[in-house]
Amino acid sequence: MNAIAQDEAAVVIIGSGAGGGTMAYELTKAGIPCVLLEAGQHFKLDDWTNDEWEAFGQMAWLDKRTTSGSWRVAKDFSGLPAWLVKAVGGTTTHWAGATPRFLDYEFKARSTYGEVEGATLLDWPITLDDMAPYYDAAEKAIGSTHLHGRPPLPANNNYKVFANGAERVGYKKYATGPYGTNAEPYDGRPGSIQDGFNFQGDKHGSKWSTLVREVPRAVETGLCDLRPQSHAVKITHDASGKADAVIYVDKDGNLQRQSAKAVCVAGNSIETARLLLLSDSAMFPNGLANSSDQVGRNYMRHLTGSMYAWFDKPVNMFRGETMAGIIKDEVLHNPDRGFVGGYYMETLSLGPAFLAAFIEPGSWGPEFANWMDNYQNMAGMWIVGEDMPQATNRVTLSDSVDQWGLPAANVHFDDHPNDIAMREYAYEKAEALYNAVGAVGTHRTPPYPSTHNLGTCRMSANPEDGVVDKWGRAHDVPNLFVSDGAVMTTGAAANPTLTIVAHAIRQAEYLAGELKAGNI
């Protein structure tokens, strides 16, 4: 074991998912010792199960959370605002796999879209040009299909319906990727066997996650002290205002203190904001790094919605890679559609167990039964688009407490009128697509508990507008970094994992440089 003494001031990374796992690998590769704290257990591939509810009980972050606001999730799933993973590898262990990049205009949302009433749009302090080399690196790390010499995945049944519909309604930019699962062996991992289980943990190992790549490689360097079941509860600071330790609860419920020379927070946007809010002190009465009062605000979750369609012939959508189908034609800024920003359409499939719970929460009766009876003849897609940042969409500390007696996160969300307009437009386009290939019925499924959680510690050029600078470093605390999707100034339309990984690679390079130069 690569033990680092608790009184040795190390780089402490909180969370081992897309952001934290990548930080651990990149920093240890550069020779920098790291303590990697992970709240969840360390599961192996053999531990995963091809069963939706069983896997959910095993993997999902089920600690206490509360909800408020007018979003439907607060009504149907009041204790489950987000569907995330609590395990080594974080939510990369159940991500679907789509890896589109953010587009140039999406880094300049305020300039491109102009003033949108009620939205707190801002341009990122970085551009696509700044990110491009790191996107290359992230795509190679993940092994994204279609790119850098990686072959595409073949068409599965759900994709055949999706792509033929796309062609018939005139879309051009459709493909089976880019996608983060190998079509053929790459980087020590096998090619897909099309087993159809993505959200349950990939037993096969053909899909990229930090569980199979970054975390084990970080440990192999001998410089990473991985501590599973270590739940960070507070970041403390010294008299000068620099972070100096992380307090965490270990697997036995005991409090531990790890000294820190730098802290990288990557707990996914909800827990990252919560941890900073929990880390208040006399010097930082509103929470650490929160002089701007922006910590927790501008929470984004992507537009989302699903379209399911029934046909008079079998589809068997559950066979094969779940999200290996993507249409990019609607990802552009064209206000003539009645909204700003754009959206992707991506194939999606659920088994009967999850479909029953999510297709129309609360539903029952003959129509519902008929949907389920025709399961074999169903095709499905997910709509994922840019939602508007709003100051009042916000993670705060709840009146309820978690298993450690600490205030849980409350997630407040209201759809912006732009979100509603885009979702309605996208539903119509999705219906047209499926009708073009002979759908006998369609259903508009509302958003699931959030899987894309973004923007609670946003990146800003001006310290008053956000929480972190262009490197993801806290404006208020020079040795505190945010290393996950919380840094996103705006959410763009793309699935966020690739951008989280690219940002972490960029941040790790910067942090390594600063550490070696003695600036931190």
Partner 1 sequence: MGVSRRFVLFGTAAAAALTASLPSRISAKTVAVSGDAEIKGRLMRMVKVAFPHAQFPDSCYERNCDAVLAAASADPGKVVMFHQGMSDLKSAGFDGMDDAAALAHLKSIEGSEFFQLMRGTTIVTLYNDHEVWDILGYEGASFDQGGYINRGFNDLDWLPEPRITEL
- State the residues that interact with partner 1 by CB under 8 A: 49-54, 56-57, 62, 74-80, 146, 152-157, 159-161, 163-164, 167, 172-176, 192-197, 203-204, 313-316, 318-320, 328, 351-353, 355-357, 361-362, 364-366, 368-369, 372-373, 375-376, 437
- Please, what is the end-to-end C-alpha distance for the chain in angstroms? 26
What CA–CA distance (Å, rounded) separates 34 from 12? Answer: 6
**Which of 17/351 has CB closer to partner 1?**
351
What CA–CA distance (Å, rounded) separates 383 from 173? Answer: 15
Distance of closest approach, residue 25 Cβ to partner 1, in angstroms: 27
- Name the one residue in this structure whose structure tokens are 């537009």: 303
Q: What are phi and psi of 444, to 5 degrees?
A: -90, 105
**Which of 351/385 has CB closer to partner 1?**
351
What CA–CA distance (Å, rounded) separates 357 from 349? Answer: 13
Distance of closest approach, residue 426 Cβ to partner 1, in angstroms: 20
Distance of closest approach, residue 413 Cβ to partner 1, in angstroms: 15
Distance of closest approach, residue 281 Cβ to partner 1, in angstroms: 32
**Positive or negative: CA dihedral 502, 504, 509, 510:** positive
**Which of 7/54 has CB closer to partner 1?**
54
Q: What angle do CA 284, 290, 294 make, to 5 degrees?
A: 160
Instruction: Calculate the alpha carbon distances from 227 to 251, 263, 312 in Å.
Output: 10, 15, 52
**Which of 195/250 has CB closer to partner 1?**
195
The answer to whether the bond into 178 is cis (omega within 30° of 0) is yes
What CA–CA distance (Å, rounded) separates 116 from 131? Answer: 26
**Which of 345/468 has CB closer to partner 1?**
345
Distance of closest approach, residue 225 Cβ to partner 1, in angstroms: 31
**Which of 410/490 has CB closer to partner 1?**
410
Reduce the secondary structure of 160-176 to three states and give it as a string. Answer: HHHHHHHHHCCCCCEEC
Burial state string for 468-478 with b = 16 or more CB within 10 A and e = fewer than 16: bbbbbbbbbbb
Distance of closest approach, residue 359 Cβ to partner 1, in angstroms: 10
**Which of 5/353 has CB closer to partner 1?**
353
Distance of closest approach, residue 190 Cβ to partner 1, in angstroms: 11
**Which of 355/508 has CB closer to partner 1?**
355
Distance of closest approach, residue 133 Cβ to partner 1, in angstroms: 23
CA nearest neighbour of 184 among 157, 149, 158, 160: 149
CA atoms within 13 A on the CB side of 228: 15
Distance of closest approach, residue 442 Cβ to partner 1, in angstroms: 17
**Which of 5/372 has CB closer to partner 1?**
372
**Which of 279/410 has CB closer to partner 1?**
410
Q: What angle do CA 151, 20, 386 make, to 5 degrees?
A: 65
**Which of 144/192 has CB closer to partner 1?**
192
Cβ neighbours of residue 54 closer than 8 Å, sequence gap 6 or more: none
Distance of closest approach, residue 304 Cβ to partner 1, in angstroms: 18
Angle between helical axes of 497-516 and 18-29 (0-180°, round to 10): 30
Contact 82, 65 (CB under 8 A): yes
Contact 51, 200 (CB under 8 A): yes
Distance of closest approach, residue 236 Cβ to partner 1, in angstroms: 32
**Which of 95/179 has CB closer to partner 1?**
179
Distance of closest approach, residue 316 Cβ to partner 1, in angstroms: 7
For residue 245, list its beta bridge partners. Answer: 236, 259
What CA–CA distance (Å, rounded) separates 301 from 89? Answer: 21
